[in-house]
Chains A and B, each alone.
Chain A
């Protein structure tokens, strides 16, 4: 059974803290994604990685950075958390193989206070 696992379901952090969200996939996928979901805005792409140490900015990268040192792990970093980063964060992975969809983790609900 394919699996994308996010390290936390719920997180509460203080403004200004450095926050790490971890994601691990066991499918040997090349591509990994970080999205955030907000009401009325859908899923917005923060960062995308298509290989180890390779990354590409999505639509809303400001205030975030990412790290992909190993193929199976993709980390999202909030350098200095702010209240407008309170959101549901979703990690996904996919393969280059034709017809292969992206698989999502269960999500991390982050609240910045």
Chain B
């Protein structure tokens, strides 16, 4: 039972354009959501998060949107840069529970110069 799903295994965009990565979840108890970026042979690094009391959080070129009724979140990267090419994972947690983090399958983003 995959509680966090990233249905697009890969995404390719042109440098300077917008990248939109999507994530769906099934557990209505999740109240904290995060995005991580991972390069090969390295551990994931935290990118941006959002609490369920918000519907948008912005940090520089990165914006996360949360639609609780649809159980859907998305990460927007504007403008995309070649250095953004990596695997992106979304994760969810029910912080009222134990804070256990559940990850999606990941989306490989390629930004072409």
Contact = CB atoms under 8 A, between A and B. Distances in A.
A25 interface: no
B-side interface size class: 20 to 34
B31 to A, nearest CB: 11
A43 B44 contact: yes
Contacts of B43: 4, 90, 92, 104-107
Given A40-B105, A42-B106, A90 B99 contact: no
Nearest to B90: A42
Report which residue of A48, A56, A101 has the largest number of chain B beta carbons within 10 angstroms of its beta carbon. Answer: A101
Contact of A101 (B34, B89, B103, B104): B34
Contacts of B44: 43, 90, 104
Interface residues of A, number: 29
Given A101-B34, A101-B46, A107-B43, A35 B103 contact: yes
B45 A96 contact: no
A31 B100 CA distance: 8
Interface in B37-63: 41-46, 49, 51
A74 interface: no
B51 A109 contact: no
B41 A109 contact: yes
Nearest to A9: B41
A55 B6 CA distance: 28
Nearest to A107: B43
Given A33-B101, A50-B99, 13 more contacts: A33-B100, A35-B103, A42-B6, A42-B105, A43-B89, A43-B103, A45-B100, A50-B98, A56-B98, A99-B51, A102-B46, A104-B36, A104-B43
